[in-house]
Structure 1
Amino acid sequence: MVEIISFDPVEELVAAYLFDRLGDGTPVSTRVPVPRPSRFVTARAAGGGDRNLVLSSRMVIFQCWDDDDDGARRLSERAFSILKAAQRDREEPAIRQVTTIGAPQSFPDPDTSMPRHQFTLQFDIRGRVTR
């Protein structure tokens, strides 16, 4: 029987990783939480492709929201730094490489005028053999 390589959903993988490493209770999810908190991060998959049999490159767009622009900017820079370091974290074997696609930048929400900053990363994630 042929081996099947499976990958964990990248959004869930990186959202859980970021939530744990932020360590301050800031919600990190794949959607805007309801009710909307004053500070949160969203992670949404944005495509990618296979690198080889066991590695897949997945792009994720992160949006960091806060009540004020300085808070959103600082959250974005902290989240960006944490996720860039994930490739060196021995406690997270699935994340093998992290590449910057778009650095943190202002991206105000047109619907709510809530301050928001955004960045995009590509994660090379390791799959695992399943049957």
Structure 2
Amino acid sequence: MKPLIVMPDAVAVIADYLRSELGGVPVMSRVPNPRPRRFVQVSRVGGTARTVVSDAPMLDIHAWDETDADAADLIAMCRALIAALRGVTGGVTVYGSAEVGGPQWLPDPDSSQPRYALAVQVHMRGRVLER
């Protein structure tokens, strides 16, 4: 019987990594209510299996903060951290990442709060499902 390969939850892996590196900045997969003054959202917007044992999810990273400059700084930090990520994080092997869309000014339409967004594709290894 051919082994089943289960791909990791890329949102959880990247959100946990950013949370551990951003020194107390909330990082989540949904916009919370109430909103913190500063936070990062990670969501999967696509991607495909790269090989039979690896995935290449496309992720949107959004960073909100109190000022335009602070939101730009926060997305720049996320960008640098993701670009530097190689090796094992949260038990998942990450081979690297590619920027799909660089940081862009994207003010929040609901709150008018300053927000920047970034799109990345992260190459990560799956795991064999024990059956």
Place the TM-score, normalised by the shorter chain, in its bin: over 0.9
Alignment partner, residue 38 of structure 1: 37
CA distance in structure 1 between the partners assigned to 2:44 and 2:73 by the alignment:
22
Alignment partner, residue 21 of structure 1: 21
Q: How many residues align?
A: 128
Alignment partner, residue 3 of structure 1: 3
Alignment partner, residue 126 of structure 2: 127
Report SS of the residue matched to 1:123: strand
Deviation at 1:120, TM superposition (A): 0.3
Alignment partner, residue 108 of structure 1: 107
> 8 Å contact 2:39–2:63 — kept in the other structure?
yes
Deviation at 1:34, TM superposition (A): 2.3
Q: Does residue 61 of structure 2 align to residue 62 of structure 1?
A: yes
Alignment RMSD (CA, Å):
1.1
CA distance in structure 1 between the partners assigned to 2:29 and 2:60 by the alignment:
10
Alignment partner, residue 79 of structure 1: 78
- Larger strand fraction of residues: 2
Q: Which runs of 5+ in 2 are unaligned?
A: none
- The TM-score, its normalising length taken from structure 2, stands at 0.93
Report SS of the residue matched to 1:61: strand
Percent sequence identity is: 34
Counterparts of residues 88-99 of structure 1 (less than 5 Å): 90-92=87-89, 93-99=92-98
CA distance in structure 2 between the partners assigned to 1:38 and 1:118 by the alignment:
16
Report SS of the residue matched to 1:19: helix
> 8 Å contact 2:64–2:71 — kept in the other structure?
yes
CA distance in structure 2 between the partners assigned to 1:47 and 1:94 by the alignment:
19
Amino acid paired to 1:9: D
> 8 Å contact 2:88–2:94 — kept in the other structure?
no
